[in-house]
Amino acid sequence: MGTRGQDQSLVTQVADEYGVKSASVEKWAREECVVPCFGWHPWFAHMMYIKKEEEEQGERSESEGMETLQGEEKIRHYQKVLQPKREELDEEDRRVFSSLPDPLSFSAFLAQTRKYLNRYPLALVGEVGLDRSFRIPEAWNPDLESQRNGNLTPGGREGRRLTPFRCNQAHQKAILIQQLRLAAETGRAVSVHGVQAHGLLFETLKELWVGHEREVLSKRESKKRGVDHPSATAFLTPSTSTNTTQTSMPHPPRVCLHSYSGSASNFKQYLNPAIPVDIFASFSTAINLGDTLDGSTSNNFVETIKTVPDDMVLVESDLHTAGEEIDRRMEDIVRRICEIKGWLLEDGVRRLGGNWRRFVFGVEGEDGGSE
């Protein structure tokens, strides 16, 4: 899962060696175990600039060069996209803004992302989204640079102090929408990050699907048309939104609200059968349960899991490390969800595997891809 400039090429390296080559799990060789994802995370939205004409016209262009802003242009960019808003900059503000990375052209990033998506037909878009809580870390002190962990991809916080600044929601939203549109054009599913911005995230997604809603029918009309669907309320046209299909729709075919942290009532807005996007919500021990592995669950978590329909639930580790720890976390969250849903473990794994295949590839699977 790509999040920022420093890791996009790392995702390609892993994909070249371990990427899946087919949507059919049964055809995978042993080394095929990765679905690559390319995206720009909201924690790093401030590092990107969008050209003035693109903002004013609401249009997107894609240029090849990764031009950067420097000097006073850089200062003005951060003055514009960071909050608290600074109408007048004092010496400390200028020091902080100057120490931040030189902003990159977002249109150039989109052009590169499009190339990656074309190179990997089964790749997804992610991780993208909105975050109201994240504060911008201070730049690395040159004296401490040599002490950073060289095994970690540059760009992470790694214990740096936080500044008082956050990236404003308007800029985050502009970055998100353009990536969602790219996902729509290329027919890719999207992994979406949302923290303390659940209402704004829903409205942002809604902007793209307004005017393209599914036709909602009464149960009587559904029966008359021969529509057989669990909700018996929505007229569903055959899906053509596989990962290798260009679409004419302005919205992505499938969206996962990853490590969904909203309430059950927040999620109910996604249950409208007219929504033309297939919505999923994933859950992890690390984020949703406060990293507890003692089997305890909060009432809010239980209520949310019960609210999310069985065919919309996904699981994840949400960890940045691989190996036994991920296996342990995945087993833990699967067991908890099966217990809340009242599923036998084997049945639950099969259901969750089937949901995963539908989200990632847009296809159904007889065994749910549980292996």
Q: DSSP assignment of 81-127, as one string?
A: HEES--SS--HHHHHHHHHSPPPEEHHHHHHHHHHHHHHSTT-EEEE
Mean of per-residue pLDDT scores for the chain: 88
**Inter-helix orientation angle 106-119/8-18, to 10°:** 0
Asked if residue 362 and residue 315 are part of one domain, the reply reads yes
Average pLDDT (173-199) is 97
pLDDT tens for residues 324-342?
999 999 999 999 999 999 9
Q: CA 339 to CA 334: how far, in whole Å? A: 9
Asked if residue 231 and residue 133 are part of one domain, the reply reads no
Return the percentage of the chain with pLDDT > 70, whole number: 86
Q: What is the pLDDT of residue 147?
A: 72
Asked if residue 222 and residue 181 are part of one domain, the reply reads no
More confident residue, 130 or 141: 130
pLDDT tens for residues 44-102?
999 999 987 666 445 556 665 568 999 999 999 999 999 999 989 999 999 999 999 99
Asked if residue 165 and residue 68 are part of one domain, the reply reads yes
Q: How far is CA 354 from the centre of its chain?
A: 20
Asked if residue 219 and residue 111 are part of one domain, the reply reads no
More confident residue, 95 or 367: 95
* CA torsion, ordered 371, 26, 254, 300, to nearest 10 deg: -10
Q: CA 166 to CA 156: how far, in whole Å? A: 16
**Inter-helix orientation angle 71-81/91-99, to 10°:** 100
Is residue 124 one of the residues assigned to a domain? yes
105, two tokens: 């052209």
Q: What is the pLDDT of residue 144?
A: 66
Beta-strand runs (E) in the chain: 37-38, 48-49, 82-83, 104-105, 124-131, 166-167, 190-195, 215-216, 234-235, 254-257, 278-283, 313-315
Least confident of 63-67, 104-108, 204-208, 311-315: 63-67
Is residue 200 one of the residues assigned to a domain? no
Asked if residue 178 and residue 51 are part of one domain, the reply reads yes
Asked if residue 266 and residue 147 are part of one domain, the reply reads no
Asked if residue 154 and residue 17 are part of one domain, the reply reads yes
327, two tokens: 């296996």
Judged against a pLDDT cut of 90, whether residue 129 lies above it is answered with yes
- The residue segments making up the domain with residue 177 are 1-188
Q: What is the pLDDT of residue 233?
A: 45
Is residue 95 one of the residues assigned to a domain? yes
Is residue 181 one of the residues assigned to a domain? yes
Is residue 204 one of the residues assigned to a domain? no
Is residue 371 one of the residues assigned to a domain? yes
- Helix/strand/coil for 199: helix
More confident residue, 112 or 235: 112
60, two tokens: 């997107």
Return the percentage of the chain with pLDDT > 90, whole number: 71
Asked if residue 83 and residue 25 are part of one domain, the reply reads yes
Structurally, the chain folds into a number of domains equal to 2
pLDDT tens for residues 275-319?
999 999 999 999 998 766 666 788 999 999 999 999 999 999 998
Asked if residue 342 and residue 295 are part of one domain, the reply reads yes
Is residue 198 one of the residues assigned to a domain? no
* One-letter identity of residue 325: E
Least confident of 37-51, 217-231, 271-285: 217-231
Asked if residue 218 and residue 128 are part of one domain, the reply reads no
ω into residue 42 within 30 of 0, thus cis? no
Is residue 197 one of the residues assigned to a domain? no
Asked if residue 154 and residue 229 are part of one domain, the reply reads no
